[in-house]
Structure 1
Amino acid sequence: MSFVNLVSGGLDSTLIGVMAKEDHIDHFPLFIDYGQRAAAKEWATCQSVHRQLGLPVPTRMDLSGFGQVIASGLTNVSMDVKEDAFTPGRNLLFLLMGSAYAYQVGASSVAIGLLAEQFSLFPDQRQPFLVQAEQAIAAAMGRQIKVLTPLIEFGKADVVRLATEKGVAGTYSCHTGNSQPCGRCIACLEFQFNEGE
């Protein structure tokens, strides 16, 4: 078995890579620049953290035109990074591109770092979407490419705990792309919310 790991330089996707390395599972990290505000910071962090942890060198896919047309708080600085965070089609884009890359490199699956459903805010983070996406991908590719969600039983507190145990450090998860986390985007708030668990 081998899989494409959709990576962002963040804690969740980095932890998936570390777990795969420990289990000696071949994986192909894929960073997608979809025109997100944080793309430059995420990509730099992604490369750095993969180097530090001895993970495979990530491949970057430039789809930045997506974010130029599909405006959200994640792609457009004039919109609110938290209130306007939903980016229509983003996770489907990730899974489709990850699956196309999996097809290309001969991998059987694509992994996305979604957490337990009670922490999901958007329809493209939930099980019905994942099932239907997998079916659509199989129809599009002419063969099954499994969608993996290795962290789906976890809350952010669980991820932080496990990542700390495994020595994962230096990741970046803020949606603004600023050097200091903003403290109010969904990614930042996940950490704050789970600190109290």
Structure 2
Amino acid sequence: MSDTRNDLLPVSALVLFSGGQDSATCLAWALNRFARVETVGFDYGQRHAVEMQARIAVRDGMADVLPLLADRLGPDHVVDLTGYGRISESALTSDRAIGMDARGLPSTFVPGRNLIFLTAAAALADRRGLEVLVGGMCETDYSGYPDCRRQTLDALSTALSLGLDKPVPIETPLMWLTKAQTWALADDLGGSELVELIVEESHTCYLGERSQRYAWGYGCGHCPACELRAQGYEAWRAGQ
């Protein structure tokens, strides 16, 4: 487990926090790095309320597995974007099959989701005095979502900085990591306790399934999110 307390940056951060594996790892990363950290979640009409429940369990458990950093964790915020979810229909917000659309994008792609999330997060951060946005977007294992690309986020950071008349950096610690490397990062940041918290409490499954427990956590075991998480976990364990 790494100890980055000597590398602490005297700035604050707002973590986009869904309660999934990636955002849980990003929260631990931010707590290791920044003096003050708050979290924000978004209710955008996703089909499964389990995601909103998981984020509470993971956040609460983070203080237990990273006790030396617990005093850095500030308030949690939830933004109601259900109206947006209704106009951006996808397999995550309505009863549709998971597959590919005519553009070759997954049906789980919610158009502009990260753009909306980060814009709302930037407004919240401005009012809360938080200087850095942190998100779990990843171009290596990004499932074909164009709003996860670093180029997209750089452009948005520029637009937000211009619109708010101040720098709006968007940190993406997982951007170039595989899922196996993301598991390794969690282990480095918080050891087996953090890994176990992610396995036991975080939620990634597109179908909202939590009745089946695998070595890598709960899920249906066959949707793209579960397959990616399982493959990464197996590759990480094999490389230990």
Does the TM-score normalized on the shorter chain lie above 0.5? yes
* Cα distance in 1 between the residues matched to 2:165 and 2:173: 24
Q: 1:47 to 1:130 in 2, by over 3 A?
A: same
1:18 to 2:36 alignment: no
1:179 is aligned to 210
Residue in structure 2 matched with residue 31 of structure 1 by the alignment = 41
Match of 1:118 in 2: 140
Change in CA separation of 1:61 and 1:15 when aligned onto 2, cut-off 3 Å? same
Q: Which moved more, 1:99-108 or 1:170-179?
A: 170-179
Task: Compute the TM-score of the two structures, normalised by the length of structure 1.
Answer: 0.89
Instruction: Please name the residue that 1:42 is paired with.
Output: 51
Q: Does 2:62 correspond to 1:53?
A: yes
> 1:106-137 CA distances to partner (integer Å, 9 max, x unpaired)?
1111111022x232212111121011111111
Q: Deviation of residue 90 (structure 1)?
A: 0.5
Which 4+ runs in 1 deviate beyond 4 A? Answer: none
1:86-123 residue CA offsets vs partner (Å, 9 max, x unmatched)? 111101011111111111111111111022x2322121
Distance 2:130 2:89 in 1: 32
When residues 81 and 58 of structure 1 are mapped into structure 2, their CA distance, relative to the original with a 3 A threshold, is farther
Local SS of the residue matching 1:22: helix
Go from structure 1 to structure 2 and tell me whether the alpha carbon gap of 1:28 and 1:49 turns closer, same or farther (over 3 Å shift): same
Task: Tell me the distance in 2 between the aligned counterparts of 1:75 and 1:81.
Answer: 12
Q: Partners in 1 of 2:34 and 2:140 — Cα distance?
A: 31
Per-residue deviation at 1:82?
A: 4.7
Partner letter of residue 223 of structure 2? C
Match of 2:14 among 4, 11, 18: 4
In structure 1, C-alpha distance between the alignment counterparts of 2:233 and 2:30, rounded to whole Å: 26
2:103 matched to which residue of 1? Answer: none
Is the contact between residue 50 and residue 56 of structure 1 (CA under 8 Å) also seen in structure 2?
no
| 1:76 aligned partner | 94
Q: What is the distance in 2 between the residues matched to 1:139 and 1:193?
A: 40
Tell me how far apart the structure 2 counterparts of residues 45 and 56 of structure 1 sit (CA, whole Å): 18
Partner Cα distance (1:141, 1:31) in 2: 21
Comparing both chains, which one has the higher relative contact order based on Cα–Cα distances under 8 Å and sequence gaps of 6 or more? 1
2-structure distance, mates of 1:56, 1:48: 15
For the aligned residue pairs, the C-alpha RMSD in angstroms reads: 1.8
Change beyond 3 A, Cα 1:57–1:11: farther
Answer whether contact 2:140 2:176 (CA < 8 A) is retained. Answer: no
TM-score normalised over the length of structure 2? 0.74
8 Å Cα contact 1:82-1:185 kept in structure 2:
no
Percent of residue pairs identical:
29
8 Å CA contact 2:204–2:225 kept in 1: the answer is yes
Paired residue secondary structure (1:12): helix
Which sits farther off after the overlay, 163-172 or 96-105? 163-172
**CA 1:179/1:82 → structure 2, altered by over 3 Å: closer, same or farther?**
farther
How many correspondences in the alignment?
A: 194
Is the 1:47–1:57 contact (alpha carbons within 8 Å) kept by the matching residues of 2? no
